[in-house]
Structure 1
Amino acid sequence: MKKKLVMVLMAVMVATAALGGCGQKGATTDSSVSAEEEKDVEIPAKELLKATDYKVEKYVKLNDYMNMTVELSKDYTVSDADIQSYIEYLMSMYPSYEVSDKKTVESGDVVNIDYVGKIDGEEFSGGSATGQHLKIGSGSFIDGFEDGLIGKNVGETVELNLTFPEDYSNNTDLAGKAVVFTVTINSIDTEKEMVYDDLTDEYVSENFGNKGISTVDDLKSQVSSVLENRNHSSKMTEIQSGVLQKLLDECEVTLPDGLLDQRITEYKERVNNAVEKSGKSFEDYMGMSEDDFNNQVSDYIEESLKQELILEAVVKDMNLSVSQKNFEEFVDSYVSSYNIADRDTFYKEYGGEDYIRLSYAENQALSKIMESVKTKVADNTDASDDADSSADAE
């Protein structure tokens, strides 16, 4: 069973895979030209489209795809209110502490501690801290750590002989190992919930100074950048979704004979194999009954196929070529990100180098359309910004 890389998402190049079979020529993992010879070669549309066994122009009538307007659900501009709201969220995670006059630790207390952890007499990475606040009973530390401080007094140093859990996921190298923590109780503190009016340079420096943020202005600037990046990503996702929907709505597409049935059959086979390997019932694994799945899968595969054919038609219409070097850089990035053994394994798993290269070209075509699209927010206020609407697919 061969899979097809349908589309590579913008910016992070996340591939969405769907099954492929009918409509795909025999997948190849070896090129007749060596990788070194291909490094700087531009692969033209005619060569890219040889990965299919149909002439896409017979099945797709394109719209005016370079002159589309997509409606956005909201204005993605970052406002002062957005910045304040995010800072308030951060402040909720960084309360202020005042030293109390309490001397003996009880469950529920917030203690300020210094500690050093050692395994076989040696300190280990992440096992020590100074000025750490810990709420006793929160379960933040491994079993025995917090309970071992109950009844102890401020100023006292305690030695805790503990063992990391066998299923310790924070650092699997420590799982099941014996550890000795030497803990000094500095104080028992009162926790004060912070609000925006409490924001000062001192507070920022104390809580975010280790990240290079020492003033209120620094924090606002950093938060603004975070929100702008997040909003840009969300905006690109909505633009991409809108573009694909517009293409489906406005282009005329028919599917090559047998292609839909073949894809549905192979998709069901893959799902059923996954269910069988899981040892679960179909409904538990899929979150729906098999009847509901069968009713939905045809529409899902049909829409996916139509998107593929439309983008293939755009590749041909644009006479788009792709850089072999850039394509290989994408493949290497994908292989690394998803822990795939090597390029050949990736090619074999997803239908062959030629077919993946065509999918990469489809993504480049989608990127060019997104660069040209105009946008408006739902209330028809013009939100077009060619710079913001562009996305680098490489």
Structure 2
Amino acid sequence: MNHKSFAALCLAAALGLSAVLGGCSFFKGDASSQAAGVSSFGSAADYDYENFQFSQGLTADGYWEGVKALDYVTLPEDFAAISLPKAEVEPTEEAISNQWDYLLSMYSTTQPVTDRAAQNGDVANIDYAGTVDGVAFTGGTSTGFDLTLGSGMFIDGFEEQIVGHMPGDQFDVVVTFPEGYNDSTDAEGNTVPLSGREAVFAVTLNSLSESVLPEATDAWVDENFGESDDVHTVEELNQYFYDLIYEDNLDNAIRSYLLESSQFDGCPDVIADYQVTSCLNYYYQMASYYGYTLDEFLTTYAGFSSADEMLASYDEDLRSYCDEALVYQAVAESLGLTPSEASCEKYADYNASYGENYVKMLALIDDVTAALRDGVQLV
């Protein structure tokens, strides 16, 4: 077995490493119902998102180029000795259980199902061909698609109608697209309205498979995490989860306090440009993977009519990201911090992919967080 360090798995998730969106054009999460508007950050055409680099706009110390954050942020007087309710920080049993569920799922194996009907949790490999009033539409046909039943990936009613069928069955799934769903096109490029329309999908259930989770025993923990993380028993891994969640809860509480208690006066162009360009590049990369333009991808997969509409819907989030970038640098300036060697080393494997300056920023944020964590008073 190729053993994975649990710490490495957590690090990868924290960095948001490449995630590929797969599927079809009728995801349940269609966003077309959001009101169109204009982003305070301008238009997507104003940004060179195709050439975004993670280290752009950052110095070799992980600071924003030409920015003194304390000119834009007034930190609360108690920022270095924050008081927080203990109840906000201590992990719940549910949170620890969720960590176990996630970890075991990472080590699950898959086995075929041939002797029973499909049920929620199964992965159904299907072919489907959808029509509205007998007309096939773009994005409504696929072969060999793996769909986890009960995931809510497809529009309401689709997955539920696969449940109960046996591998090899051919059947129709009848669903109604939600109001506000984007239009599609037929083979000749003519518009096919989908909003509120009934669609019939001819489905073939090619095969079923199910995940089998490993049993969490001391021997299993030792085999997978004894060498990589020096964690050898279920009890030790449970404590590992407790400490991990505690630290994450503490960091989130600190961040929330700082953002709520600080006063902000604008956002420097270099940070605003970075946040918007990063957002656009994320979707541009996915669009390129599937052979779409950015606007085509957002229309087909996310329910936005354009990149500009998406930016408008994300305006508040982008502003929050700018504030967060400023507040951490403001703390670093106040405390005279630069990235420590130990923190930089933790991210060293990502230098080639993300650039040294970006890695230095991650390290600086870690050092700022550690300093704030040390000053917290739990009450």
TM-score relative to the length of structure 2: 0.44
TM-score relative to the length of structure 1: 0.42
